[in-house]
Chains A and B, each alone.
Chain A
Amino acid sequence: KNEVEQSPQNLTAQEGEFITINCSYSVGISALHWLQQHPGGGIVSLFMLSSGKKKHGRLIATINIQEKHSSLHITASHPRDSAVYICAVKSGGSNYKLTFGKGTLLTVNP
């Protein structure tokens, strides 16, 4: 069983819809990342969080440490949000090894 599970694997939405992508993990962590990967492959870090909630523009990320669960929300989705969204966790320890989920492919249609 993968230590990081994302759902859904694929998500299709209409422009303007509210999007939620979920991430569950099975290990104790010190931080969780949400990453965005566009066609062509480059990855951008959207958020790094260890508790609570963070907001950047139309993107909101929340984490519940007790439930080992995080969500990424996109408000007023737009076709340019179409990408793969990846959850990654850093477990405790002295080095910085990330364990990645398999990603959620989001397609936003106009």
Chain B
Amino acid sequence: DGGITQSPKYLFRKEGQNVTLSCEQNLNHDAMYWYRQDPGQGLRLIYYSQIVNDFQKGDIAEGYSVSREKKESFPLTVTSAQKNPTAFYLCASNSWGQRTEAFFGQGTRLTVV
């Protein structure tokens, strides 16, 4: 079955360390997205990519970096510059065009101690 796989589900890191969250999709979707979710807030867009080797900053990109070397993969690195990295991170994807649904991964809960 096609879908989006995020790994790991739970991740713990020490303050000051970079950490990379994985997102893989086998839906042949062109576009992929990373969102952050904090308690009491809606999902906020970190980065998105509409095509391989290209990506754009979302609303809260500071302290994060991404790459899109393959269509199926869009890893997110949470760098030590991110001031408040503990959060729930969701990856999504969809095909190009206005009327296509987005598919979401199961999320990664990152805790920085």
Contact = CB atoms under 8 A, between A and B. Distances in A.
Interface of A: 2, 4, 30-31, 33, 35, 40-45, 48, 50, 86, 88, 90, 95-103
A41 B42 contact: no
B40 A102 contact: yes
Contact of B107 (A2, A35, A42, A99): A42
Interface stretch (B20-28, B64-72, B77-85, B95-103): B95-103
Nearest to A46: B101
A43 B35 CA distance: 12
A103 B107 contact: no
Interface of B: 31, 33, 35, 37, 40-45, 48, 50, 56, 58, 88, 90, 92, 94, 96, 98-107, 109
B106 A86 contact: no
Nearest to B97: A96
B102 A33 contact: yes
Given A41-B107, A43-B90, A50-B99, A2 B42 contact: yes
5 contacts: A33-B102, A45-B103, A90-B98, A95-B48, A102-B42
A2 B33 CA distance: 21
B48 A102 contact: no
A36 to B, nearest CB: 10
Nearest to B89: A41
A100 B43 contact: yes
List of 4 A-B pairs having minimum Cβ-Cβ separation, nearest first: A100-B42, A41-B107, A42-B106, A43-B104
Nearest to B31: A96
A45 B42 contact: no
A44 B92 CA distance: 11
